Amino acid sequence: MTQKEVIRLENVQKIYDLGKVKVEAVRGISLAIYKGEFVGIEGPSGSGKSTLLNLIGCLDVPTKGEIYLDGEKVSSLKESDLATIRGKKIGFIFQQFNLIPTLSALENVMLPMVFQGVPLAKRMKRAKELLKMVELEERMNHKPSELSGGQQQRVAIARALANNPSMILADEPTGNLDSKTGEHVMEQLNKLNAAGITIVMVTHDPRSAGHAKRVVYIKDGKLYKKGDILNEE
């Protein structure tokens, strides 16, 4: 049975023009990610892994090359179209949590549904279900400053699931957590993957990468596997 391709990158480059200096953050990467996979992207700081994740998540567009999401070419779409795709198909989890400090946990989880036009009653019901799933139903009215780092990250996971995405992108999801709390977050991601959600996770932590079913390594903007460089000209 042929696996369904969710994301495909074809010879993708990302160059940042910093005036007199041009930084090639991603250098000719080709990569396919399939439905239901848990893919880890591992590499040192400055290797290009977060840039690669942003390209996969339609948060950025490539300087050269093509990106396909569910068979549709997205690398040349307008930002408004990319925003629509992100809102419907992709959930994001960040190292810094990125919760709105003035909103409660419940309101933070409801927020992505506002942009998709979900009615208030449905938004609230869905958010409460998600907070219960991550074992935070008793903290739903607390603001981020009243929650621990691990609790904030669980709110962020619930928020990422708000619009029933088919794929979750996690950028260093355990980076600001102690090892025990980080392990709990990884267990949550494992459960989501077991339920059929495609997960792509960037990490520099081999322990977190160990939860992925497939790991690709990036260094200096290129992919490696077991010490052998991929996509080498």
116/84 Cα distance (integer angstroms): 9
Tens-place pLDDT, residues 117-160 = 999 999 999 999 999 999 999 999 999 999 999 999 999 999 99
How confident is the model at residue 98, as a pLDDT?
92
How confident is the model at residue 224, as a pLDDT?
84
Structure tokens given for 80? 């408004």
Structure tokens given for 177? 């957590």
Tens-place pLDDT, residues 85-104 = 888 899 999 888 999 999 99
Per-domain boundaries in the chain: 37-60+78-229
Query: Residue 188: which of 149, 156, 214 has the closest Cα?
Result: 156
Of 201 and 224, the structure prediction assigns the larger pLDDT to: 201
Looking at every residue in the chain, the average pLDDT score rounds to 91
Structure tokens given for 63? 């300087």
With a cut of 60, say whether residue 75 has pLDDT above it: yes
What would the CATH number be for the domain defined by 37-60+78-229?
Answer: 3.40.50.300
How confident is the model at residue 231, as a pLDDT?
54
For 104-127, what is the mean pLDDT? 95
44/220 Cα distance (integer angstroms): 9
154/49 Cα distance (integer angstroms): 23
- Residue 175 confidence class, pLDDT cut points 50, 70, 90: confident
